[in-house]
Chains A and B, each alone.
Chain A
Amino acid sequence: MAAPGLSAYLILAALVFTIGLFGVLTRRNAIGILLGIELMLNAVNINLVAFARFEADLAGLVFTLFVIAITVAEVGVGLAIVIAIFRVRRTVDADHLNLLRG
């Protein structure tokens, strides 16, 4: 069996990205939304690594490392905000977070 080509990886990444975006849009729980964002950023990594592998270019791998580091920083801040919100409101459900309107 032939090894999968570049387009197979791109389709996989597009699937992961779409699942993440779907999660962000439909989940009501803030942690669930965070997981969706994580999936979207990991789709980026799959893309970058696939391009780097098939174009034999190292820059994509370096880019991936930066994306991973930034994802961690971002999710760290996100979890901190979720914890702060839970302390004040005792809920992390997006439907109950509706103080600001208009």
Chain B
Amino acid sequence: MIAFALEIGVGALMLLVFIATLVARGDDRRWVGWLAAAGTLALTLLALPLSPAPAQLGGAFVQDGLALFAKRLFLAATFIGLLGGLSLPGRPFLRRAGEYHILVLASLLGMLVLASARDLVLLFVAFELMSIPLYILAGFAKREAGAVEAALKFFLVGSVSSAVMAYGLSFVYGAVRTTSLAGVAKAMPDGDGLLILGLLAVFGGFGFKIAAFPFHMWVPDTYEAAPTPFVAWLSVTPKAAGFVALFRVYFEGMGTAVSFWVPVAAGLATLTIVAGNLMALPQQNAKRLLAYSGIAHIGYMLVGFAATSASGTAMVLFYLVAYVFGNMGAFLVVEAVARSEGSEHLAAFRGLAQRSPLLALAMLLFLLSLGGIPFVAGFWAKLYVFWAAATAGLYWLVLLGALLTVVALFYYLIVAKRMYIEAPPATTRVPLEPMLALAVLLCALGVVILGVYPKPLVMAALRVAAPLF
């Protein structure tokens, strides 16, 4: 049972929030959100001392180091995301706060199971449990035309990708005659055409979820119209879950057959880095800018994936942690500014350093981390990923990634210039809700601590990635 502790915990928390929603009276039911956030924090703390447990359900559910590493990350990221969303204004978030939090927890449950799934059926079910609540959450403000339109686009692209993925899974099953991923890994070295076809289709399905080019078109629209604290969470955790599942399906137990995926991953990485960075350049809306920059970051993680080695996998895990703090933090600052100025346009950031120096400093840290400047988390993340790719002999990919990092720095520094050099339109401070401030502070701490002292996390990532190969 101990292997399922976290999943049972999240399920129980969902029930608790559900009951609290039923007994809640009045129009402001946001207090149930505190329950969800406190419960997630408790589960995060519970996850820290857990140690790997033997496989359950006939090997379909494994609680190994990789799963635990991923689950701690998902729980911590969800806690920060819930913290940022606690004080969301607006009627839907007051009256329907219970729904919001139950859906977030349902998606979290899907991610936790996905990190442990070693069976095609469980993998597919967990993947859908993660995805379906996200469609509803994207359109949560259902009276706003933009929000429902974003939800429809997200849903259509997401469910087509699920269908492609399921079609691929059916071929994988047909080729190996078992639904166990260990069986798939065993059959891979023979290179059966049906199996390769199936796995490529599954890769496409994952590509949509992690938003790799050319499967990225839902990202900017959904990010722009969905509630920002939710977007902060959406932009990091499902992608982290997608990468962990990729490692499970394509790396674990495959031995030397992993080299088959090098050209696929390297090609996708190239396209994603180039497209994400170039399309981010002309953006004037902060959320769209971060959406395209997020696509570029997925490309950098695919560089680590293309290394198809234990160190490459570990460095992608490190990158994911750095990306969680940097990207979530940036989105949460956008939320704070947008709530005060009523606009997500970059012009809203003018003179932020004079109005709220600490908020501007936090945003600067996040931007520097995303841009990969030394002594914040993102620098080590990029360096390690490039180092792993260079060790695997992918020099051209490293060169391309390094070149486009400069492009990325340009659009991050445009935001910094708005904050630090331009004159503010008003001199009043940007009001900041205490819980949103706490969430931003946690992200800033994560970025700085990982930037100054990355060693323990790198070692932990290397330890959990080693058994995959």
Query: A and B: partners?
Result: yes
Which of A's residues lie within 8 Å of B, judged by CB? 10, 13, 17, 20-21, 24, 30, 33, 37, 40-41, 43-44, 47-48, 50-51, 55, 57, 59-60, 62-63, 66-67, 70, 73-74, 77-78, 80-82, 84-85, 87-89, 97, 99-100, 102
Q: A74–B128 contact, CB under 8 A?
A: yes
Q: B152–A97 contact, CB under 8 A?
A: yes
Evaluate whether A82 and B152 lie within 8 angstroms (CB atoms) in the complex, with A17-B167, A47-B171, A100-B221 already known.
Answer: yes
Evaluate whether A60 and B145 lie within 8 angstroms (CB atoms) in the complex, with A74-B128, A78-B155, A97-B152 already known.
Answer: no
Q: Chain B residues with Cβ under 8 A from A43's Cβ?
A: 167
Please give the number of chain B residues whose Cβ is less than 8 angstroms from any Cβ of chain A in the complex.
Answer: 44
Evaluate whether A100 and B148 lie within 8 angstroms (CB atoms) in the complex, with A20-B163, A44-B167, A55-B177 already known.
Answer: no
Q: Chain A residues with Cβ under 8 A from B177's Cβ?
A: 51, 55, 57
Q: Does B244 contact A (CB under 8 A)?
A: no
A-B contact pairs, 5 of them (CB 8 A): A37-B160, A60-B174, A74-B159, A84-B139, A88-B145
Evaluate whether A74 and B132 lie within 8 angstroms (CB atoms) in the complex, with A44-B163, A100-B224, A102-B283 already known.
Answer: yes
The complex places the Cα of A74 from the Cα of B64 at a distance, in Å, of: 31
Q: Does B7 contact A (CB under 8 A)?
A: no
Q: Chain A residues with Cβ under 8 A from B146's Cβ?
A: 99-100
Q: A63–B179 contact, CB under 8 A?
A: yes
A25 to chain B, nearest CB (A): 9
Q: Chain A residues with Cβ under 8 A from B152's Cβ?
A: 30, 81-82, 85, 97
Q: Does B173 contact A (CB under 8 A)?
A: yes
B108 to chain A, nearest CB (A): 17
Q: Does B121 contact A (CB under 8 A)?
A: yes
Interface residues of B in 152-195 (CB under 8 A from A): 152-153, 155-156, 159-160, 162-164, 166-167, 169-171, 173-174, 177-179
Evaluate whether A77 and B135 lie within 8 angstroms (CB atoms) in the complex, with A51-B170, A100-B150 already known.
Answer: yes
- 16 A-B pairs besides A51-B177, A81-B135 with CB distance below 8 A are A20-B163, A21-B160, A30-B152, A33-B156, A37-B159, A41-B162, A44-B170, A57-B177, A63-B121, A66-B125, A73-B132, A77-B132, A84-B142, A88-B145, A89-B148, A89-B149
Which of B's residues lie within 8 Å of A, judged by CB? 120-121, 124-125, 128, 132, 135-136, 139, 142-146, 148-153, 155-156, 159-160, 162-164, 166-167, 169-171, 173-174, 177-179, 220-221, 224-225, 283, 285, 288
Q: Chain B residues with Cβ under 8 A from A48's Cβ?
A: 170, 173
Q: Name the residue of chain B whose CB is nearest to the CB of A36.
A: B160
The complex places the Cα of A55 from the Cα of B175 at a distance, in Å, of: 10
B167 to chain A, nearest CB (A): 5
The complex places the Cα of A88 from the Cα of B148 at a distance, in Å, of: 8
Chain B CB within 10 Å, residue with most, of A57, A77, A85: A77
Q: B173–A51 contact, CB under 8 A?
A: yes
Q: Chain A residues with Cβ under 8 A from B144's Cβ?
A: 88
Q: A40–B163 contact, CB under 8 A?
A: yes
Closest 9 CB pairs of A and B: A40-B163, A47-B170, A51-B174, A100-B221, A44-B166, A85-B148, A84-B142, A70-B128, A84-B148
The complex places the Cα of A51 from the Cα of B195 at a distance, in Å, of: 13
Q: Chain B residues with Cβ under 8 A from A73's Cβ?
A: 128, 132
Q: Name the residue of chain A whose CB is nearest to the CB of B178.
A: A59
The complex places the Cα of A84 from the Cα of B174 at a distance, in Å, of: 39
